[in-house]
Structures are given as C-alpha cells and as structure tokens.
Amino acid sequence: MIDSATLSILISTTLILAIYTILYRENPAFRIGEHLMVGATVGHAIVLAIFQIRDLAWRKFQSGFATGNLSGIAYIIPMILGVFLYFQFSSKLRYLARISIALMLAVGLSLSIRGLIFVNVIGQIQGALAPLTSIQNIVYMIGVVCALLYFVYEQRASKLAGPLPKIGRYVLMLTMGAYFANTIMGRLSIVIGTLTSVFVAPAWYLIPVAFLIVIADVFIRRKSSTAS
Amino acid sequence: MVAREILSRNYKQVIYLGLFLSLAIPLFNPIGLPVPVQKTTLGVYNKIESLKSGDVAVIGSNIGAAIYAEVYPQYIAILEHLLRKPGVKILLVGHGTEAPIWAERALKELNAYNRKSYGTDFVHLGYIAGEEAAIASLCRDVHSLLKVDYSGKPLSDLPMMKDIGSAKDFAIVIDFTASADSQYWLNQAYASYGTPVGFGLTAIKVPDAYAYYMAGQIFGIIESLSGAAQYENLIHKPGMAVTGMDAQSLAHLLYIALIIMCNVIYVTQRRTKK
Amino acid sequence: MAGIWRTTATAILLVVSLVILFDFAFKNPALQSLATDLSNWAVVVGAFALGIGAYSLILRHGGMIAKKRPVWPYSLLLLVTMFVFTVTGLITGSITSPQYNWIYSTFVMPVSSTLYGMNAFFIASASYRAFKARSWEAIVLLVSAIFLMLKNAPIGGVISPVLPQIGGVIWDFAGATGMRALLIGIGIGTLALGLRVIIGQEKTPLGGAE
C-alpha cells in the first residue's frame, strides 16, 4: 500500500517528465500537464477570492451592520462594484464594469505615481548626481546621460548631441547583456529545483522509464516513416 | 553517418541532453566549488544583524510554484536568521496568491511554532488582494485593512500587533518576489515612510533592483539561488541552494561554449562565402 | 446611455486620483480617512477581480466541451481540476490544510516550475543557433553576458580570479548607467501615461478610444 507522500512524489514526477516531453515533440502528455496547471491555478484563485471577500469586506459589513457603524456598512459599495466587474462579459451591462475599473485604476495609478516620482525619478537622479571627483563617477555620469538620450530620443536626438546617443546604445547593449546573463541564471535555478525534486527515491526510477518511452517512440516513428 | 545525421537534424535534442547532464551530474556528485559572498547579500545580512529586540521585520512575499526553486531557499534562510534574533518580531505578509502556502511551509520547516510564540514573536497575515493598493493600505493603517490574521484570529488578540499601526512601526521590510511588485514596497513603505527595504529576487529582476541598490534606496538584494547559497553559508546552515551552485557552474560553462561555437561557425561560414 | 456611464467613470477616476494624490501632499485627517477607505475599497474590488479569469475560462472551455471541439477532453480536464481545487479549498476552509497542500504539491508545484524553467533549454538551443554577433552592438551584448555569466557562476572565480572582477566592473557600470536610465525613463513614462489616464486623455483603459 503506497502512502500519500510517496503517491504525491510519483504523480508529481510523472507530471514533470510529461512536461519535459515537449523538448522531444508536441504530445498529449504535455497538454494534459498544461491544462492541469491552468485549472489548478484558477481554482486556487477562486478559493482565495472567496476568502478575501469574506475577510476584507463581508465581515466588516456584518459587524458594521450589527453595530450601526457607517464605515462598516459602506463596505457594501465595493462589494457591489466587485460584482459589476463581471458585467464586462455582458454586451448590455458592460458600462457598469467601467465604474469598478475606474476605482481600481484611480487608486492603483495614483499610488504608483506617488511612489515612482520619488523612487524611480528623483531617487535615481540623485543617485546619478554623485560628485564628479573620481573617474568612476565621471564615467557613470556620462553613461547615464548617453543611455537616457538614446532611450528617450533614439534616432530623433538632435545633431547637437553628436555621438552621445550612439554611446548610449552601447551602454544599453551592455545592460541587456546583464539581463541576458541573469535570465540564464534564473531559469537554470528553476530547473535545478525541479531536478532536485526528481532525483529522490522512488521518483528517479521513473526517469529511465521516460527515456525508454521516448527512444521507443523515435524508433517507431522512424520505422513508420521508412515504411511509408 | 548516423551520428552526423542526428547532430544536424536533432541538434536541439542533443543540446537539451547536454544541458540535462551538466545539471544532473553535479547534483549526484557535488564538486564543492566555493561560493563567494556578494556585497548585496552582505547588505541584507548586516541589516538583520543590526536589528534590536522589539524591532518589527516585515517579510513580504509573492512566492509561487513557478519561482519557488529560486526564492524559497532565500526565504527559508532569512526566516531562520530572523528567528535566531532574540526579541525581533516577524510579520509575514503575502501579496501573491500562493504566498500563504509557502509561508506556512517555511514556518513548519523551521519549527517556528515551537521555537517562538505565535502572536508575540511572529504573526502571519496571509494574502491580501489588490496589488499596490493592498501594500499601500497595509503601510497606511494595518488595523483598518485587516481585522484577522491568516488563520482567522482577531489581530486585537495578538500581543505584537498592538504596537504595529503603520509602516512607521516597521524596522525593515524584505520582499521576496519575481515580478514588478517589488516596486510596491519601495513606492509605499520606503517613499512614504522611509522604511528600509531589501529584496530577495529571482535573477531576472535583479538588474532593475541593482540600480536601486547603487542609489542607496535599498539595503541589499539576495540574488536568486546564488544569493540563497551565499546566505546559507553566512548563517552556517547549508541547504538546497549550496548544492545547486555546482550545477549552475557547469551549465553556465555549457552556455558559454554554445555561444562561442555559434559565433565560430558563423565567422567560418562568412569567410567561406567570401 | 453608455456615454453617461463613461463620463461617470472618468469623473470617478479623476476625483479618486486627486484625493489620493492630495492626501500625499497635504496631511489632512479627513482626507487621510477618505484615502484610506478608498484604498481599502480598491483592495476589495481587486479580490473580486481574482475570479474574472475563472469566469472567462469557464465560458471558453465550457463552450469547447458543449460544441465537442477536438480538444474538448483537455477542456474537461481543466474544468474538473478547477472544481476539485475550489471544492477542496472551500470544504477544508484553508489553502494550507493538509488536503489542499497535498493537491497543490502534487499537481501545481511540479508543473508550474517545470513550465517556467523550460526556457533554460530553449535559450540553450538559441545560444547555439541564433546568438550570432552580427554587429558591434551584438558583440558588446554577448561579451558582457559572458563575463557576467562567469561572475554569476562560482566556476568563474575558480578558472581565474580576474574573470569575476571584470564581470563585477561591468555589473556596476550597467547598474549605475543603463539600468538607472531605464528606471528613470520608465518612471517618467509611467508618470506621463498615468496623468493622461487620470485627466481622461487616454480612453482605452475605460473601454474604447474616442
């Protein structure tokens, strides 16, 4: 009799190997894994949505209603607005969803603007304005100006700017190299994590089974293609 | 002849197999390469070391199944470090839908419920929907946004929550994420309240965060699995991250070899055409 | 009729944005209380938004099953999985219950991380086939990427201590220049677009350009 932990390892390893079969070719095993994941993720979101609405709104509305507290009772408004969001799927009542979107957009945008001004714009410009007392700071300052000139204006930069936008292009290419190197490191880390979960007993016994299935498929397809 | 045919037609599968072997072999036979500590990781370590009894450390998280391999080892290492600090309060907050699962998993893995007292030493607030609005509301007034913790206990019954009203009461925030929501804590906690912020990030987000580090806006970054390995060594608790670094090394060499091969072939073909 | 509602939505967008922006600028208790309530309301609406994806998927995949499209068995699997997760979560009352944890660890964790990490293999084959240094810019990109890879992986320091040092210099330079320029550009761009949306110049977020 298999215990639940072993069953979990076997099923999850089978799913991992099924997903990896896409590296060989498109096949139903990969599709099954893909659809399982989408269904699970969305089911998870539904559960969370229900719990969040209960904890963030319904309970406050209930206690407000019980005690006559207006700010608690007012939570009926966002709950109604939340329901309005689903009207975007209706051609007749779509306009109601705009109210809900307007509220979310307004709060999200204004909060972002407040933060971005200080963090991305002022903070970064302050960081760039280091005293030009060392070669490093001078080089960094030239690099930022050139990169900004290219990033904002591209080919439209004035002739007065001279070669600066072109230098900025190279600075940005250097930065893209950094993103590329980090992307590789990130993806490799995820694969390492996946393989670490597969290289445990009894999961690793499924690896040679998967390889044998793939090799068998290769030979069967070769045979059928030479026969036809 | 068959080998040449396979290499030219199925070169992708050959490369995939090569990558698989370069990752798998070191996992079975670790080489034991030293992992040097970066200044960004040291920044986080030193900040946590400087925390005093009574300080509140907020651990934000958007860890999910997709990125757990990179970020969860960092999360575990930081939580372990914080649990070792006597008197430091820990507030766990999720702004990703799977975050509570990983938070509870980490707390159980580190035996936090037995080592410390829930409600006095640490509180788990769970997931809060709403992206940046949720973080902003939390930083503005915790008790106005939330009445209960993750398990449904009223916040008013939890002793440590009596002293926490807003981000002014947070000593530090460390956020673990893979996406743009690392910006939320900077925009809300740092920009509005001056709360020191640090990150535990996937490798892809690190370049953006490094600009904030260079400008002095964040105190440190734990960079992907490498950062987790460095932190595990700093707290003398090697785990999955350290064992994974050997595999990283071999696989990186493979990538470099492939890029060089690609360009050697390209240059040779150009010369042949001329 | 729709025009009145669009105008109402635009007015709400403007007023709510101004309340939150002014709250940041002027420390007024009444304004602060209103801004707090509006933020909390947006959080609640955001919670409802979590279910939008589910609603859309049910409509789409339900239609595929009803019309017996060729891929209908996959759609059925998707909806059944969604149902199982929803019911398990609601019955156990928590997403960290042992039962929910079991199905999450068994079905979500391995598949999600495997799909996400798949790119590593595709990048490897692209590295062999596509990353040709056809221009000086491409050469700069590839050379910086190679040095940074040798900095990221411990083996770089083992081959030669100079390699990660060069990588470190490139990394610091990129962080202080290119990355900074990108953040400033993104900040200004977001600010400009955000203000255009708030004052109603950008109609698309609220449905349709005029």
**Chains touching B by CB (3 or more pairs below 8 Å):** A, C
CB contact under 8 A, C152 and B137: no
Does residue C4 form part of some domain? Answer: no
**B57, pLDDT greater than 90:** yes
Size of interface A-B (CB pairs under 8 A): 145
Size of interface A-C (CB pairs under 8 A): 388
Which of C50, C132, C170, C173 would you mutate first to test chain B, the one with the most B CBs within 10 A? C132
Which structural domain, as residue segments, surrounds residue A32? 1-74
CB contact under 8 A, A194 and B69: yes
Backbone dihedral angles phi then psi of residue B273, each to the nearest 5 degrees: -65, -40
Convert A31-40 to b/e letters by CB count within 10 Å (16 or more is b).
bbbbbbbbbb
CB contact under 8 A, B226 and A108: no
Does residue A106 form part of some domain? Answer: no
pLDDT for the residue B240? 81
Does residue A47 form part of some domain? Answer: yes
Q: What is the DSSP string of chain B?
A: -HHHHHHHHSHHHHHHHHHHHHHHHHHHS------PPPHHHHHHHHHHHT--TT-EEEEEE---TTTHHHHHHHHHHHHHHHHHSTT-EEEEEE-STTHHHHHHHHHHHTTHHHHS-BTTTEEEEEE--SHHHHHHHHHH-HHHH-SB-TTS-BGGGSGGGGG--SGGG-SEEEEEESSTTHHHHIIIIIHHH---EEEEE-GGGHHHHHHHHHTTSSS-EEEHHHHHHHHHHHTT---HHHHHHHHHHHHHHHHHHHHHHHHHHHHHHHHHH-
Does residue A142 form part of some domain? Answer: yes
Q: What is the mean pLDDT of chain B?
A: 91
- Å between C66 CA and nearest CA of chain B: 31
Which of B21, B70, B138, B262 would you mutate first to test chain C, the one with the most C CBs within 10 A? B262
Percent of chain C with pLDDT over 70: 95
- Å between C10 CA and nearest CA of chain B: 19
Q: Is the same domain home to C150 and C176?
A: yes
Query: DSSP label at A160?
Result: G
Residues of A in contact with B69 (CB under 8 A): 189-194, 196
pLDDT for the residue C29? 85
Q: In the structure, how many helices (H) and strands (E) does chain C have? A: 11, 0
Nearest by CB to C205, from A56, A86, A105: name it.
Answer: A105
Residues of B in contact with C142 (CB under 8 A): 259, 263
Answer whether A2 touches C (CB < 8 Å). no
Answer whether A69 touches B (CB < 8 Å). no
Does residue C16 form part of some domain? Answer: no
Query: DSSP label at C33?
Result: H
- Å between A65 CA and nearest CA of chain B: 16
8 Å CB contact between B30 and B243: yes
- How many domains would you assign to chain C? 2
- Å between B134 CA and nearest CA of chain A: 10
pLDDT-derived band of residue C27, with 50, 70 and 90 as boundaries? confident
pTM for this one?
A: 0.89
Q: Quick check: ipTM above 0.85? A: yes
**B1, pLDDT greater than 80:** no
Q: In the structure, how many helices (H) and strands (E) does chain A have? A: 10, 0
**C35, pLDDT greater than 50:** yes
- Å between B137 CA and nearest CA of chain C: 6
- Taking only the tens place, the pLDDT of each residue in A62-109 is 989 999 988 889 999 999 999 999 998 888 888 889 899 999 999 988
Nearest by CB to C181, from A22, A23, A147: name it.
Answer: A147
Q: Examine the fold and report which residue of A74, A98, A116 is the final residue of a domain before the chain moves on.
A: A74
CB contact under 8 A, C102 and A4: yes
Does residue C209 form part of some domain? Answer: no
The nearest alpha carbon in chain B to A130 belongs to B215
**C210, pLDDT greater than 50:** no
Does residue A33 form part of some domain? Answer: yes
Which of B31, B132, B224, B259 would you mutate first to test chain C, the one with the most C CBs within 10 A? B259
Q: Which tokens belong to A11? A: 């099923």
- Mean pLDDT, residues B255-270 taken together: 91
8 Å CB contact between A128 and C178: no
Q: Is the same domain home to C58 and C92?
A: yes
Which structural domain, as residue segments, surrounds residue C76? 52-117
8 Å CB contact between A98 and C9: yes
Does residue C201 form part of some domain? Answer: no
Residue that is written with structure tokens 């640490």 in the block: B122
pLDDT for the residue C178? 92
Q: What is the DSSP string of C52-121?
A: HHHHHHHHHHHHHHHTT-TTHHHHHHHHHHHHHHHHHHHHHSSTTSHHHHHHIIIIIHHHHHHHHHTHHH
Q: Examine the fold and report which residue of C93, C117, C141 is the final residue of a domain before the chain moves on.
A: C117
Q: What is the DSSP string of C150-168?
A: HHHSTHHHHH-THHHHHHH
Size of interface B-C (CB pairs under 8 A): 167
pLDDT for the residue C209? 45
Written as tens digits, the pLDDT of chain A (228 aa) is 778 888 999 999 999 999 999 888 888 889 999 999 899 989 998 998 999 899 889 998 998 999 998 888 999 999 999 999 999 888 888 888 989 999 999 998 898 888 888 899 999 999 888 888 999 999 999 999 999 988 877 767 667 777 888 899 999 999 999 999 999 999 999 999 999 888 887 888 888 888 888 888 888 888 888 776
Q: Which tokens belong to C86? A: 């929803």
Which of C17, C34, C37, C96 would you mutate first to test chain B, the one with the most B CBs within 10 A? C96
Q: Is the same domain home to C104 and C74?
A: yes
Q: In what order do the strands lie in the sheet with B172-177?
A: B122-127, B89-94, B56-61, B172-177, B197-201, B221-223
The nearest alpha carbon in chain B to A125 belongs to B215
Q: Which tokens belong to A83? A: 């329901």
Q: Which fold has domain B39-245?
A: Rossmann fold (3.40.50)
Residues of B in contact with C123 (CB under 8 A): 255
Does residue A107 form part of some domain? Answer: no
Does residue C90 form part of some domain? Answer: yes
CB contact under 8 A, A119 and B217: yes
**Chains touching A by CB (3 or more pairs below 8 Å):** B, C
Q: Examine the fold and report which residue of C89, C117, C145 is the final residue of a domain before the chain moves on.
A: C117
- How many domains would you assign to chain A? 2
- Taking only the tens place, the pLDDT of each residue in C140-187 is 999 999 999 999 999 999 999 999 999 999 999 999 999 999 999 989
The C-alpha atoms of residue A150 and residue B86 are separated, in whole angstroms, by 51
Query: DSSP label at A54?
Result: I
Bond preceding residue A78 cis, omega within 30 of 0:
no
Residues of A in contact with C49 (CB under 8 A): 82, 85, 104
Residues of C in contact with B137 (CB under 8 A): 36, 39-40, 43
Which residues, numbered 182 to 221 in chain A, qualify as contacts with chain C under a Cβ-Cβ cut-off of 8 Å?
A: 182-185, 187-188, 190-191, 193-194, 197
Nearest by CB to B248, from A56, A123, A185: name it.
Answer: A185
The nearest alpha carbon in chain C to B230 belongs to C154
Intra-chain end-to-end CA distance of chain B, in Å: 29
pLDDT for the residue C2? 64
